[in-house]
Amino acid sequence: MHIIITGGAGFVGARLARTLLARGELALTGTAATPITSITLVDRVEPPADLAADDRIVSVVGDLNDLLAEAPDQVVTWNTSLVFHLAAAVSGECEADFDLGMRSNFAATHALLEACRQLGTSPTFVFSSSLAVFGGSPEQPLPDVIHDDTLPTPQTSYGIQKFIGEQLVADYTRKGFIRGRSVRLMTVSVRPGKPNGAASSFFSGMIREPLAGVTGACPVPDETPVAVASPARTVEGLIRAAEASDAEWGPRTALNLPSLCITIADMVAALGRVGGAPALALLDRTGDPVIQRIVKGWPGRFETPRAARLGLGSDASFEDVIRDYVRENPDAIKLAVEA
């Protein structure tokens, strides 16, 4: 089985690739398990060294739109059984640069779907959408709890573009061009590495930076709700989407992945339990009105029975999530903490 991961050099993409390689096989959309022979990682940058060294990994480096315009069949090769489409410009970038978002999230998704359609083999297509499709406005506040059939009313260009992607995936699936699975990722924390342009970047930084012994910004108030999922749960959801049979998957509407529905105060408390007073002392609680405005529109409470029926659950606690991060990233921990 040949698999493509767009955004495959990014954090979620690389973790997904490692997980798939470690498994070695996949039971695609309810069929028998088949060995994974190769994975193409498409990204603007080279993949991490461990992946580049694996002879099952093919790296295609470039801009996804350019690559698909020039030679779609060299990105989506004839033998592709499964595509994970994770590549995207992130929320903060799309607010700052409308055209960048339309190109990276709207045009690229459409072009990738067209390339898959041209195969004529109806490959499985897992589209990473986002909780950012949900947003509240003064005229239309978010409901207290997001259900599986809550109407998304995105309040950011990123959310609009992801929601449009879901619609395209649904119709390409209905037409038989692909076998589509749209999953809405929750706020992924704790991400290792550096901050990115996402408005949600601080949800990882506020844990990662203090544990690394440097100041981490937490620019929103204690009571801010957040629907958070660990990297492990996120990758689990993406793989489960690829494995679910059509009957298990059900409607073509995007699936809300499970999340821990907590608050910033809960996250800070968990950081304190793992890193103690030294970690808390490194939290910078200066407010950022721009970030607050964006994040305030995001939902913090979900009920996800559809995901539960697929066997997907949330992390046990955010403290566990932090301890997993500490265990998996020993080089990034400078405070004296026990995993």
Binding of residue 174 to its own copies (CB under 8 A): yes
Q: Restricting to residues 247-266, name those near its own copies by CB under 8 A.
A: 250-253
Q: Which is nearer to its own copies, 153 or 204 (CB)?
A: 153
Sign of CA dihedral 312, 124, 161, 12: positive
Binding of residue 293 to its own copies (CB under 8 A): no
Compute the half-sphere exposure of residue 173: CA atoms within 13 Å on the CB side of its CA.
21
Binding of residue 72 to its own copies (CB under 8 A): no
Binding of residue 97 to its own copies (CB under 8 A): no
In this chain, which stretch among 13-21, 168-176, 217-225, 329-337 interacts with its own copies, using CB under 8 A? 168-176
Residue 146 gets which letter from DSSP?
B
Residue written as token pair 């930084």: 205
Residue written as token pair 């993409």: 13
In angstroms, what is the minimal distance from the CB of 10 to its own copies? 24
In this chain, which stretch among 40-48, 166-174, 214-222, 323-331 interacts with its own copies, using CB under 8 A? 166-174
> Residue 38's closest CA among 23, 52, 57, 20?
57
Binding of residue 155 to its own copies (CB under 8 A): yes
Q: Which is nearer to its own copies, 63 or 97 (CB)?
A: 97
In angstroms, what is the minimal distance from the CB of 170 to its own copies? 7
Strand segments, DSSP code E, in the chain are 2-6, 25-26, 34-35, 38-43, 57-61, 80-85, 124-130, 179-185, 187-188, 216-217, 225-229, 255-256, 260-263, 283-284
Whole-number Å distance between alpha carbons of 272 and 281:
9
Cβ 26 vs Cβ 242: under 8 Å: yes
Candidates 63, 97, 171, 320; binder of its own copies (CB under 8 A) is 171
* Catalytic positions: 158
In this chain, which stretch among 65-73, 171-179, 264-272, 277-285 interacts with its own copies, using CB under 8 A? 171-179
Cβ 168 vs Cβ 107: under 8 Å: no
Cβ 131 vs Cβ 162: under 8 Å: no
Residue 83, beta-bridge partner list: 4, 125
Whole-number Å distance between alpha carbons of 40 and 59:
6
Cis amide bond preceding 61, omega within 30: no
In angstroms, what is the minimal distance from the CB of 142 to its own copies? 11
In angstroms, what is the minimal distance from the CB of 167 to its own copies? 5
Q: 3-state DSSP: the chain helix, strand, coil percent, rounded to 5?
A: 45, 20, 35
Candidates 32, 49, 120, 139; binder of its own copies (CB under 8 A) is 139
Candidates 21, 48, 62, 170; binder of its own copies (CB under 8 A) is 170
Binding of residue 153 to its own copies (CB under 8 A): yes
Here the tokens at position 192 are 């290792």
Candidates 3, 160, 183, 244; binder of its own copies (CB under 8 A) is 160
Question: How many residues sit in the footprint of its own copies (CB under 8 A)?
Answer: 25
Candidates 11, 134, 163, 302; binder of its own copies (CB under 8 A) is 163
Binding of residue 118 to its own copies (CB under 8 A): no
Q: Which is nearer to its own copies, 155 or 189 (CB)?
A: 155
Binding of residue 103 to its own copies (CB under 8 A): no
> H-type helices in 175-261, by residue range?
202-211, 231-243, 246-249
Binding of residue 175 to its own copies (CB under 8 A): yes
Binding of residue 309 to its own copies (CB under 8 A): no
Positions that interact with its own copies (CB under 8 A) = 98, 137, 139-140, 149-155, 157, 160, 163-164, 167-168, 170-171, 174-175, 250-253
